[in-house]
């Protein structure tokens, strides 16, 4: 027989599981297309411009209402899990063609 206490515990466990899955879906790295990843483009832009990936995060946030503290936290999240925020994805989308047109010398 299901009691009130076990029903509440089951509901809480299901709710936590669904919330965790939803969080994972929202924070996973979103591919721009079939091909190079966002991290690949960040690396290429970094090599082409001579700026660090952190500086690219800062430049990406200039046209968005994002605080410097948020950029720092997002960059730490990128280093830990390769998760890029919306403003970096937008920056890469806008400059992807320019990066693709340039040829990088081998390392």
Comparing CA positions, the residue from 50, 51, 53, 29 lying closest to residue 41 is 53
Cβ distance 88 to 42 under 8 Å?
A: yes
Per-residue pLDDT tens for 19-76? 877 777 677 655 545 677 888 889 888 888 899 999 999 999 999 999 999 999 999 9
Cα 26 to Cα 65, 83, 86, distances in angstroms? 20, 10, 11
Residues 83/27, Cβ–Cβ less than 8 Å: yes
Residue ranges of the domains in the chain?
Answer: 1-30, 31-107
Token pair in block for residue 60:
């990406």
More confident residue, 85 or 8: 85
Write the DSSP symbol of residue 63: G
Its sign, for the CA torsion 65, 34, 25, 43, is: negative
CA atoms within 13 Å, Cβ hemisphere of 89: 15
pLDDT at 96 over 80: yes
More confident residue, 99 or 63: 63
Q: Tokens at residue 48, please? A: 């082409």
């Amino acid at each position: 027989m299901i009691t009130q206490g076990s029903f509440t515990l089951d509901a809480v466990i299901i709710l936590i599981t669904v919330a965790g899955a939803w969080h994972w879906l929202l924070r996973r790295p979103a591919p721009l297309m079939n091909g190079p990843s966002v991290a690949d483009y960040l690396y290429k832009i970094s090599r082409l411009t001579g700026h660090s990936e952190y500086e690219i995060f800062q430049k990406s946030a200039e046209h968005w209402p994002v605080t410097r503290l948020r950029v720092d936290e997002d960059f730490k999240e990128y280093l830990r899990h390769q998760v890029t925020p919306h403003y970096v994805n937008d920056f890469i989308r806008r400059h992807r063609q320019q990066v693709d047109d340039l040829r990088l010398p081998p390392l």
